[in-house]
Structure 1
Amino acid sequence: MKNLVRLLMLALLVSACNSTQKEEEKPTIELQMAMDSTVTEKQVNFKAIDSDEALIATALMAAPAESREGCKVIGINMAGEWVTFREGSNEFIVITDDPSKPGFNAACYHQDLEPFMARGRELRAQGKSGGEIFDIREAEVKSGQLEMGNPGSTLHIYYGSKTNYEPETNKVEDAIYRYVVYLPFATSESTGLPEVPISPDHPWIMNPGTHRAHIMISPKPESQDF
């Protein structure tokens, strides 16, 4: 009889301990409120890109971190004018997002690509289509009239569908990167790269055999597991 009583008492004690442990594992109301507040605060931290200063700050995110301070910054300001926001002291030129267009798209490229980029802007301003711009620049590069810099000149693109940014970091909400390495007239055979990506983040060559041949590199978003 005594053994039975001891077993019952032991079972009740184990049950009580398990119940206490489960209660301790549950977040308290105060902790849950704090967690919810943190999530809400993170969402509130994003604000609209609504000033020239914000245009510059977010566009510089396209450049390598160690080079941002010396980049030249150009683009369309909040008033809709094409301007030079600031002169640079290194080899990079940054183009800000166009605030009149949906989504976000900023770019950073090597200064040796400026004649090529500027020619594209000039032809677009004339109302030329994408195909016409390609053909005109193809002919001009082949003839030596248009320079594209040294093979291997780079273009960094920072883009996304949203136009909010986090002022503390200047990161644009959900924006991602893409990198381009220009190798005029390179081919799959001359580089060993495929003409289509083997996987989403695999480098490949686009427009092979033309003036606009370039290596495409699209890293996976930071939020995506490797």
Structure 2
Amino acid sequence: MTRTLLLVAALGAALVPELASAKEKHAAAAAPASDKSIIDSAMRAAPAKVSAGAKIVAFDDKGQMRTVREGSNGFTCMADNPETPGPDPMCVDAAAMDWAGAWMSKKDPTAGKVGLAYMLEGGTDASNTDPYAKAPTKENHWIKTGPHVMVVGAEPAFYDQYPKSPDPDTSMPYVMWAGTPYQHLMVPTH
């Protein structure tokens, strides 16, 4: 009976996004009960000991970051973005958070301020050459990434040690967004 109830609950949860309107989805995400699901998703981004002490953040309906749970170890985790096709929760240290902020605001990150980012659930498919591409084109070398760790903010010479092909072998370390201010090392974990 318990297994049947769990299966029904899982199927119901899987069908809710299909049946709900965008407005209903937004209202559900804003409800206090959703903080638990945000925390659960965000914690899957990094090893358990890292995510257990990490600050958990989410974007509110105005696009502003809010703290869902305070942290104690200098890492910040974000839940999967439900608007992207694949799982993409991320957990970053303070330097990687600064790097991500520079990327999102289209400013140059501080070179030599090395940061670490975990994406142990994988990442949504992305361009390997254009940090701001929204969809695949012939020119932007769209790739599929699995679970990985990223090293960001290193001096350019660090990245010269690794392949920078626009069409990399994603089963081994490679540089994503090579030649841009946001180049970073992608290190697969599986």
- The alignment's TM-score, normalised by the length of structure 1, stands at 0.51
Alignment coverage as a number of residue pairs: 146
Paired residue for 1:185, among 156, 162, 166?
A: 156
Residue equivalent to 2:187: 217
**Distance 1:60-1:176 versus aligned 2 partners, 3 A rule:** farther
Q: 1:87 and 1:77 mapped to 2: Cα distance?
A: 16
Change (3 A) 1:114 1:77: same
> How many angstroms does 1:214 deviate by?
1.5
- TM-superposed CA distance for 1:63, in Å, is 1.6
Deviation, 1:187, is: 5.9
* 8 Å Cα contact 2:51/2:91 also seen in 1: no
Query: Match for residue 89 of structure 2?
Result: 106
**Residues in 1 aligned to 2:40 and 2:177: alpha-carbon distance in whole angstroms:** 32
Q: Distance in 2 between matches of 1:80 and 1:198?
A: 33
Structure-2 separation of matches of 1:72 and 1:202 = 30
Partner residue in 2 for 1:84: 67
Name the structure where helix makes up a greater proportion of residues. Answer: 1
Higher Rg: 1
Q: Displacement, 1:149? A: 6.3
Partner AA of 1:86 in structure 2: R
Write the distance in 2 (CA, Å) between the matches of 1:117 and 1:76.
14
Q: Is the 8 A contact 2:118 2:148 kept in 1?
A: yes
Matches of 2:83 and 2:178 in 1, distance apart? Answer: 33
CA deviations on 1:115-151 (whole Å, 9 max, x unpaired) are: 2323444x3xxxxxxxxx2xx42xxx4xxxxx36633
For 2:117, give the aligned amino acid: L
| Residue of 109, 118, 136 corresponding to 1:156 | 118
Tell me the equivalent position of 1:18.
none
Paired-residue identity, %: 25
Alignment deviations for residues 34-66 of structure 1 (CA, whole Å, 9 cap, x no partner)? xxxx8x888657445962211111111102211
Alignment-mate amino acid for residue 188 of structure 2: S
Q: Distance in 2 between matches of 1:96 and 1:110?
A: 15
Show structure 2 runs of 5+ residues with no match.
18-27, 29-33, 125-144
Take 1:44 and 1:74, find their aligned partners in 2: how far apart are those partners?
Answer: 30
Instruction: List per-residue Cα deviations over 1:156-184 (Å, max 9, x = no partner).
Output: 123478xxxxxxxxxxxxx9522211224
What secondary structure does 1:105 align onto? Answer: coil
Aligned equivalent of 1:30: none
Query: SS at the partner of 1:90?
Result: coil
Q: Work out whether residues 200 and 218 of structure 1, in 8 Å CA contact, stay in contact via their aligned partners in 2.
A: yes
Distance verdict in 2 for CA 1:82–1:149, change over 3 Å = same
Letter in 2 for 1:215: L
User: In structure 2, do the counterparts of structure 1 residues 180 and 45 end up closer, same or farther at CA, with 3 Å as the change threshold?
Assistant: farther
Per the alignment, do residues 149 and 73 of structure 1 end up closer, same or farther by CA in structure 2, a change over 3 Å counting? Answer: farther
Match of 2:58 in 1: 75
Superposition RMSD in Å: 3.5
Distance 1:213 1:206 in 2: 6
**Is the Cα contact below 8 Å between 2:55 and 2:72 reproduced in 1?**
yes
